Structure 1
């Protein structure tokens, strides 16, 4: 079965994240040869476009969800999310773990958690991922990761 990909768009003008998915039918994302545009389908008003690159960002959903400490499978992890990944070196021993916190980006065809110093695959059979926020809505907290996210996206253009 074909699954419609999920996207979200950050717009500085509204200081808001817009989610584009089946649960939000009033938001419409259109792609063309000139880029993309986000519209409110209910009012037919343009919200933002890819031409406002410095003020807005389009982010794809990954195929991963975060896992809470109680085992609860949480929301989808998106590009631009800040994720803390905990890996147990010896299964069942909470004292022998390694943690990494970074921003989720697509790097060489793979979703990774990028710290600016290292990048680790987002998917792991032996690690749990905790979503800590995202670089847009929490820019004051994650300033260095925001800068890294912007740098990586400029390199991919």
Structure 2
């Protein structure tokens, strides 16, 4: 029996590592194994920014990968948390009754939804702003070089 609350928390807290995918689909899930790749790329971008500064072009290309992955996993947690018990049990607990307890929403599920919404949107907006700001600063610097 796959519990909706556990899946929502795993998507929120361990989503960039694919933990919710492994919980729901098992260790043979390809998407679960591929999900850490953009996370590692983004963390590598953060490390490049620490080493070479924020003017490093690769860092402002790579950093949003981790942000978008975190935001996507937060959205997944919200989708899991808002799924009706009937739909949850039909999808992940096919042998159980439609109104089985693992598909019910409780206050811990609501907590996962609220935190996912708060953190997910913050990280998403920060990633978008970071990328666009550095992209446009780069374009202005290149335009200055051309005009000189």
Larger radius of gyration: 2
TM-score range, shorter chain: under 0.3
Higher helix share: 2
TM-score (norm 2): 0.24
- Structure of greater relative contact order (alpha carbons < 8 Å, 6+ residues apart): 2
TM-score (norm 1): 0.23
